[in-house]
Amino acid sequence: MTSIARKRESKKIQIPLGERIFYIADDALMILLCVLILLPLIHVVAGSFSDGAAYMSHSGLLLWPLKPTTAAYESVIANQNIWTGYRNTLFIVIVGTLLDMLFSLVAAYVLSRKKYMLKSFFNLMVVFSMYFSGGMIPFFLVVKGVGLYKSIWALILPSLINVFNLVIVRTAMTGVPDSLEESAQLDGAGHLTILFRIITPLILPSVAVVALYYAVSHWNSWFNAMLFIKDRKLYPLQLVLREILILSDTDEGYVMSETIQFATIVVATIPILCVYPFIQRYFVKGIMVGAVKG
Amino acid sequence: MSTVSRAERGKVINRHHMPLGRRIQLDFQKNWKLYLLFLPVLVYFLVFKYAPMAGLVISFQDYKAAKGIAGSNWVGMKHFINFFNDPFLPRLLRNTFTIALSTLIFSFPSAIVLALLINELRSRRMSRTVQTISYIPHFISVVVVCGIIRELVSRSGGVTMLMNVLFGMPVTNMLYEPNYFVPIYIVSDIWSNIGWNSIVYLSALTAIDQELYEAARVDGANKWHQIIHITIPCLIPTIVIMFILKVGKMFDVGYEKIMLLYTPLTYERADVINTYVYRRGFAENVNFSYSTAVGFFNSVVCFVLVFITNKITKRMGGNSLW
């Protein structure tokens, strides 16, 4: 709204030449930036619809498919590993995010209550773990020690709570007026009722944002899977992608053609890009929540 | 309401006169349900956050999986001394610092500049389009980003060709050239995050009082003056907080991404502390105790950096992390 007001204002007054140049340069720069951001993606999409041999003999960026064909997609769709990976990743994302949210909400609820003896101890314990960790090997040994090695739960249970996300939820809960909770208590509501029926609905934007953060991090994660998952049937999508895109070998041990790699990228990225426009409006709110905390 | 809180306060004061045991008993009677609720969370933190910290003791041992922590031999500071004499140490420190500092110098300000430029766009539609497009790369997974990078900087890749045409650089696979590693890392980092990181500055910019600009214009300030004297000063608090947070995480460079991009050919410029921890733990010349010692060193440095930056935030009278 303010920018509209400013625009109207500037129309009334004669815009000085220097400013006009500035505006034009700004527009040009932003268009250039968008082009630079989109070019690699256009290349990937164009490559995925190209003929394999034609692509091999070509060099430089593609803006349009060479000898358009959907052959690459046919072999991606026929690749069982990708679908197994998809299934595993969906399981991890859905179950993982639900459990993450359950634990984070409960933890944030307890940490944001007012008077009890261990409050500052609990808070210190939680925050300290954000800034100091045992590192890779001890973490690996612990996960192995509790029997999660080679299990898909190794990608869910050890990462139940991200302390930064927890702090966002805790901050939001601290902002809920105490009177609501007190009156609920008088009506005989227990902690779980207060948490899920009263507080959670009031801080829904923060809850949505944190759920989004958890879901995206599960979707993207590959490192822990590389450490803990040995059975190919349990590989999450990103680990399959790593083989195809980075290690460039598959079951059969042959090098994948670039066009198939591109088609794989498209197939593996489209879902999250389809969700993106719908969740975009939450970003700014969520980041603001984080920024308030500073 | 006020009477309740006064009564509450009275109770608290009274409790301080009580013996500790009695106080614990009262607290538990009153709050046991809360503690019960927290129990699973407590177990989670103890098992997956604090047990690994306790596991750091293996850096003082010659850990053997068969003997376990209890049965392995104690060797004192041996692994730390070995690490300080490790021929790779200078390389690891140099690379970690180079990559961390480059991120701070290039990636960090890029988001601020983008936010300023978006803020000055006259067309609202244009500004929304730029935002939507610039956030997209953040949602592309790191594995896929690295797959795209590999393709673009290969011998026949688009970036390689462009560099050849523009700057006459030789046509080679740029990922095999050590000196190109950091630029590739930084440019792709900016590509991935510039839009996403600009959000926090954009939200700070929307909070600036528009009357400041009106007043400045009446006083004859041009666009440039307005940016220098109003917009940037209003952004400074946000910039400072983000900068300090960034410094605190400086040593925590994106090792997952480095692992997807480097090859033994580029270790010279690409190998950082965390990637070395991984290799010595799982890939080559495996030694759990040694790797843990290296990781321990890294954790301590990180913690000290966070501690110092937190002190600075507090001194600046602003927010602090704890």
Enter the tokens of residue B29. 């009677």
Q: Going from the N-terminus, what domains does chain A have, and what CATH number goes with each?
A: 15-69 (no CATH), 80-293 (1.10.3720.10)
What pLDDT is stored for residue A253 in this prediction?
44
- The neighbour count for residue B189, using CB atoms within 10 Å, is 20
What pLDDT is stored for residue A266 in this prediction?
94
Range of the domain at B288: 87-315
Q: Residues 155-214, chain A: which have Cβ within 8 Å of B?
A: 157-161, 179, 190-192
Q: Residue B96: inside a domain, yes or no? A: yes
**Cα separation, A112 vs A119, whole angstroms:** 8
Q: Residue B158: inside a domain, yes or no? A: yes
The reply to whether B92 and B71 lie within a common domain is no
The reply to whether B274 and B130 lie within a common domain is yes
Which pLDDT tens digit goes with each residue over B160-185? 888 888 898 888 888 888 999 999 99
What pLDDT is stored for residue A43 in this prediction?
93
Q: Residue B81: inside a domain, yes or no? A: no
- Buried b / exposed e over A114-149, threshold 16 CB at 10 Å, is eebbbbeebbebbebbbbbbbbbbbbbbbbeebebe
**A64/B contact by beta carbon, under 8 A:** no
Question: How confident is the prediction for chain B on average, in pLDDT?
Answer: 86
The reply to whether B66 and B91 lie within a common domain is no
Cβ <8 Å between A22 and B27: no
The reply to whether B55 and B132 lie within a common domain is no
Instruction: Work out the percent of chain B whose per-residue pLDDT is above 90.
Output: 41
In the chain, the amino acid numbered B225 is H
Q: Which residues pair with B62 in a beta bridge?
A: B73
Regions of chain A short of the pLDDT cut 50: 1, 249-253, 289-294
Kindly indicate the confidence band of residue B196, based on its pLDDT and cuts at 50, 70 and 90.
confident
- Among A204, A45, A118, A130, which residue's Cα sits nearest to residue B30? A118
The reply to whether B292 and B166 lie within a common domain is yes
Residue of B134, B238, B260 with shortest CB distance to A33? B134
- Among A135, A141, A131, which residue's Cα sits nearest to residue B291? A135
In the chain, the amino acid numbered A209 is V
Q: How far is CA B106 from CA A2, B68, B101, B110, B272, in A?
A: 31, 46, 8, 6, 19
- Among B149, B153, B151, which residue's Cα sits nearest to residue B140? B149
Q: What is the DSSP code (8-state) at residue B62?
A: E
Q: Of B25, B48, B76, which residue is a domain's last?
A: B76
Higher-pLDDT residue of B267 and B251 is B267
The reply to whether B94 and B192 lie within a common domain is yes
Domains: count for chain B? 2
- Among B61, B81, B80, which residue's Cα sits nearest to residue B71? B61
What pLDDT is stored for residue A289 in this prediction?
47
Q: Residue B322: inside a domain, yes or no? A: no
Which pLDDT tens digit goes with each residue over A31-81? 999 999 999 999 999 999 998 888 888 888 888 888 888 888 988 898 899
A-B contacts (CB, under 8 Å) = 276
**Taking the model in full, what pTM does it have?**
0.85
The reply to whether B68 and B111 lie within a common domain is no
Enter the tokens of residue B184. 């590739």
Q: Measured between beta carbons, which residues in chain A are less than 8 angstroms from residue B136? A: 37, 41, 273, 276
Q: Residue B320: inside a domain, yes or no? A: no
The reply to whether B253 and B176 lie within a common domain is yes
Q: Of B17, B46, B76, which residue is a domain's last?
A: B76
The reply to whether B164 and B261 lie within a common domain is yes
Number of residues that this document lists for chain B: 322
Q: Cα angle at B97 between B96 and B103, to 5 degrees?
A: 95
What pLDDT is stored for residue A251 in this prediction?
46
What pLDDT is stored for residue A233 in this prediction?
93
Q: Of B49, B76, B103, which residue is a domain's last?
A: B76
Q: Residue B274: inside a domain, yes or no? A: yes
Cβ <8 Å between A273 and B295: no
Cβ <8 Å between A139 and B277: no
The reply to whether B67 and B97 lie within a common domain is no
CA A198 distance to own-chain centroid: 28
Q: Residue B213: inside a domain, yes or no? A: yes
The reply to whether B132 and B72 lie within a common domain is no
**Cα separation, B49 vs B139, whole angstroms:** 28
Cβ <8 Å between B157 and A59: yes
Q: Measured between beta carbons, which residues in chain A are less than 8 angstroms from residue B321? A: 127, 131
Which pLDDT tens digit goes with each residue over B256-291? 899 999 988 899 999 999 999 999 999 888 899 999
- Buried b / exposed e over A161-178, threshold 16 CB at 10 Å, is bbbebbbbbbbbbeebee
Distance from CA of A107 to the nearest CA of B (A): 6
The reply to whether B210 and B294 lie within a common domain is yes
Higher-pLDDT residue of B251 and B16 is B251
Q: Residue B119: inside a domain, yes or no? A: yes
For chain B, the distance separating the N- and C-terminal CA atoms, rounded to the nearest angstrom, is 30
